[in-house]
């Protein structure tokens, strides 16, 4: 009989506090009118998190000031090309040229998703800078030299462990 080790990384209350903190940090570190800033959620799993961040920011500033898009990186990944994949929709209805782009994803693990997102956004223009906002940073598993600018929680885990963000249960678990 196999026994799974489960650990709650963020409870529902902690998740809510973390989202509010990150939304405020993003607003604090960018121009007040957000004229030069765009936010892009990474498909598929980063979208739930980015939707929540944008919803919280919309409570704090005029929602019309927030430029929010969604990016599919399926065909930019270097580790899944041998399989057939169903792409998600990319929706970036604004220019990213000379803008500060904030990529938003749920878990930063090897860095491959972020690297693919960097490749993909270059098809939409040349940003002035790119920042990364993640809910969970698995610090010691990086394959690329990528670090988040905004992080909900940094954890230490081994490669055999998994981090699961359960949006329907509003918690993050390690197993």
Give pLDDT tens digits for 131-173: 999 999 999 889 999 999 999 999 998 888 999 999 999 999 9
The mean pLDDT of 102-108, rounded to a whole number, is 98
| Backbone CA torsion sign across 62, 63, 64, 69 | positive
Q: 119: Cβ–Cβ under 8 A, 6 or more apart, which residues?
A: 73, 76
Provide the pLDDT for residue 54: 98
Share of the chain above pLDDT 70, in %: 93
The mean pLDDT of 21-42, rounded to a whole number, is 96
- Could you list the residue range(s) of the whole structural domain that residue 45 is in? 7-79+86-174
Sheet containing 163-166: give its strands across.
7-10, 171-174, 163-166
30/33 Cα distance (integer angstroms): 8
Provide the pLDDT for residue 5: 76
* Listed residue (77, 70, 84, 86) closest to 110, CA to CA: 77
| Cis ω for the linkage preceding 36 (within 30 of 0) | no
50/47 Cα distance (integer angstroms): 5
Provide the pLDDT for residue 172: 96
Structure tokens at 3: 């026994």
Per the structure, the count of domains in the chain is 1
55-104 pLDDT per residue, tens? 999 999 999 999 999 999 988 877 665 555 667 889 999 999 999 999 99
- Domain of 109, CATH number, reads 3.40.50.2020
| 7 within 8 A of 99, measured Cβ to Cβ | no
Do the domain assignments include residue 138?
yes
Do the domain assignments include residue 2?
no
The mean pLDDT of 44-63, rounded to a whole number, is 97
3: pLDDT strictly greater than 60 = no
113-126 pLDDT per residue, tens? 999 999 999 999 99
* Listed residue (117, 28, 24, 127) closest to 74, CA to CA: 117
- Number of residues assigned to the chain: 175
| 137 within 8 A of 165, measured Cβ to Cβ | no
| 127 within 8 A of 86, measured Cβ to Cβ | no
Do the domain assignments include residue 1?
no
| 40 within 8 A of 71, measured Cβ to Cβ | yes
């Amino acid at each position: 009989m196999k026994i799974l080790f489960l650990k709650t990384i963020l409870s529902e209350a902690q998740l809510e506090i973390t989202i509010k903190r990150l939304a405020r940090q993003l607003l604090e570190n960018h121009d007040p009118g957000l004229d030069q800033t765009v936010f892009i959620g990474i498909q598929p799993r980063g979208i739930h998190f980015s939707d929540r961040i944008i919803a919280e920011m919309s409570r704090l500033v005029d929602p019309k000031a927030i430029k929010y898009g969604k990016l599919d990186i399926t065909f930019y990944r270097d580790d899944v090309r041998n399989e057939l994949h169903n792409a998600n929709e990319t929706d970036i209805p604004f220019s990213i040229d000379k803008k500060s782009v904030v990529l938003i994803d749920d878990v930063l693990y090897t860095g491959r998703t972020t690297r693919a997102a960097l490749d993909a956004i270059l098809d939409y223009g040349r940003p002035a800078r790119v920042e990364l906002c993640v809910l969970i940073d698995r610090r010691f598993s990086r394959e690329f030299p990528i670090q988040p600018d905004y992080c909900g929680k940094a954890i230490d885990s081994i490669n055999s462990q998994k981090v699961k963000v359960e949006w329907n249960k509003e918690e993050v678990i390690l197993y």
